[in-house]
Chains A and B, each alone.
Chain A
Amino acid sequence: MMERAMEQLNVQLNRLTRSLRRARTVELPEDNETAVYTLMPMVMADQHRSVSELLLNSKFDVNYAFGRVKRSLLHIAANCGSVECLVLLLKRGANPNYQDISGCTPLHLAARNGQKKCMGRLLEYNADVNICNNEGLTAIHWLAVNGRTELLHDLVQHVSNVDVEDAMGQTALHVACQNGHKTTVLCLLDSGADINRPNVSGATPLYFACSHGQRDTAQILLLRGAKYLPDKNGVTPLDLCVQGGYGETCEILIQHHGRLFQTLIQMTQNDDLKESMLRQVLEHVSQQNDSNYQRILISLAEVGTTNGHKLLSLSSNYEAQMKSLLRIVRIFCHVFRLGPSSPNTGIDLAYNGNKTPRSQVFKPLELLWHSLDEWLVLISTELEKKCGDITSTSPGSDIASLFLKQREAGPSIVADTPDLLSSSLDPEVMMKSPEAYVDGQDVISMTANRLSAVIQAFYMCCSCQMPQGMTSPCFIEFVCKHDEVLKCFVTRNPKIIFNHFHFLLECPELMSRFMHIIKGQPFKDRCEWFYEHLLAGQPDSDMVHRPVNENDILLIHRESIFRSSCEVVSKFTNEKLKQGIAVRFHGEEGMGQGVVREWFDILSNEIINPDYALFTQSADGTTFQPNSNSSVNPDHLNYFRFAGQILGLALYHRQLVNIYFTRSFYKHILGIPVNYQDVSSIDPEYAKNLQWILDNDISDLGLELTFSVETDVFGAMEEVPLKPGGTSIQVTQDNKAEYVQLVTELRMTRAIQPQINAFLQGFHTFIPPSLIQLFDEYELRNTEYTSGYDLEEPVIQWFWDVVEGLTQEERVLLLQFVTGSSRVPHGGFAFLMGGSGLQKFTIAAVPYTSNLLPTSSTCINMLKLPEYPSKDVLRDRLLVALHCGSYGYTMA
């Protein structure tokens, strides 16, 4: 009895010491579930001795499936590459073909993870390579997905059907092609995989290679004779390449199937395809060699011409054809501008002047331009006829009246004037002429839009042959030639200007012809046109984006905001600043829309800070204009340029600035001449005097005025002539108007000319002068105060009650607190900008804890308002937050 007890104790002690020494149990628990979790970590670490030891005398079922996916330990070993354990388990009778809940065998897992040795051993123990999991995937699918060619090579010999399909009808070759594993693809093909095998949707290996832009794989397949087949929806491999913008793969397809070239070109007419992708593909193909370049351009020109002609067919769909034409021409111009891959390979030297083969690519389009020209001539004739109809009582005024006369006189006159009419005119017209005139009006209204779109295309083609920013003389000539017709178009339908006459913005000479019509259009339309054109050609027209690169952040010192901003901005290229601005204040974390807004806000206040002497207040104290004595600040012109840049930048990014300028200064920005009435904004009394001079006869007043004025330059009086020799020219009743104009220019312009010039220099880096002239001086200072608050939520009700009780000042603080700017944006609250576009003023509820203050996320214009228990608490906390926290950012 004692002995047995001792023995047991010994055994237990022995076990205990062994266990302690190994830091694990030395005996497998009785039940499989506990046992398997004991073994699993050892199998994963391939601690085969331990496993072997534990299994030795146990009744553990090696095929016991456990866990959510019901795997056996053999799965675990195969998955982890624990080859020794794997063999051990197999020796102990583990089933190599045991399938887990998803139908995966250990071989599947080994294949998926590329466990070469495990795969080998599993095969030795008769693992079945042909088993499919629940998705129909076999071991070779797994190997093909990951491109494990070497393993595949070994395995594929055991496979009965290399084209085994998964649930989607996909073979190993399909997945290898998708992933572009070249050697895997070759291995599968060599093992007899069907190169043209379609999956359930009809997609072939080539289709998959193209859909993922696998150039080399597509090349292999095509060289091995893969057929070019569409899927069941008719989507072709080329469609996929273009959709994905895979130029290289397209190029391969075209190399093998020459006819696809035309198909590719025809795709430019397909509205469903993304233009950027198509352009990318054509760009790539055109850059392969000079002949591709020429061929693409010529073909695009042909397609463009056909499209243009279709657009001019009145029964075609205007919108669709117009878009199509413009898209084709845009791509054409883009490719043309890129130039051939090897420029100046003697091509340009071979011919004189502009008759180089490069310009030959425009040839097909000349047909369209010719038609356009003829159409405009026709319209002009129609216009004349219209006038003729009105003035038909005066005989012989034009051709139309000639017709009328003839109709009255009967056929005898036709015989008298055979050369003039009969030979060139269709008798039909004579007979039906009354009807023909009726629709003269209609012809113009029916064709104006269509012709204007073709004009736009023509302009694009003309411009792409010119250096950037220059208008082609050819085009100017064209506009001059058809001046009357074009004016008639835009008078009837001014929208045409905004839709198609973008050329006006790039050519001031032409713009002036249409200016009066443009100015008559709604501000909103002009605004849209302005921004559309301003941002055209920018890669991302997403207003202000947040640059990822730390170097692209403007790091500003809050305490010296003006100087540090000036320094930082000057270090950035204009292009960068156009793409987007991100501001961070030194020592603060906040960044985003709100900070940018605050920066513009504070900066604009600093620009007009009297300490810098850059701007002076006008008579009414609310508007500003450059200080004629700003030269006290030696750097003043640099600062003016900077101020111009900031204003231009703000306008560019639709940000508000907190400055109102005098009307005259807005006129300077717009390039509009000033007049004596503008003087009233800086010196109302003096303006009245000028007015008086103009209104009254000054002959006998004995004013003794000459064309000169005395000005005070830092306390010293200086006599400044208004024009050469002005000091000795008397002002008389006859020349007083000139005097007033000159003295106005002196006060308003000449005195601050250097400042204006510097300012405009900065301003024009972001806003081209041609664009700003769309507006007048009143519109430029556009600010409207509108609000669109929603008062529906009962919780929010308190908030708005409190806001109503706030003073104006506190409300401004609130606005600043939430949006980062103390101003309402251009166009009102509806145009509040967030980091990713328009973002309305929003209030978010956050759970209330005692003393919690409201916080805000300025980038998304969101006020985070705790759910306060009462209106009073809300008011109290809100005011604390507003008065303490409207400046400075920390992460809330």
Chain B
Amino acid sequence: MSIDESTAAKVAKLARIKVEEDALPALAQEFNAVLGFIEQLNEVDVEGVEPMVSVTPMRLKRREDVVNDGDQQEKVLSNAPDAREGFFTVPKVVD
């Protein structure tokens, strides 16, 4: 399986990382190196083997479904690059 430039561009788009046109060939090459390494997994017989979900088999703890946190608007916004009037601010999303 070989990754071409258009696939690399598509992956960058999915990952929401801007990659300039002229950087795509090198990126595709790096993907191919990593994927070539991963291909070794095809040698393993995994017939009937369950994919691991949790490395430590344990039942998740249950708790009462009650509000135990909150009312910290100022703290939540304190690290925002742009916060106004108690809200996060982003570029226009809907026309």
Q: Do A and B come from one complex?
A: no
Q: Which residues of B contact A (CB under 8 A)?
A: none
Q: Which residues of A contact B (CB under 8 A)?
A: none
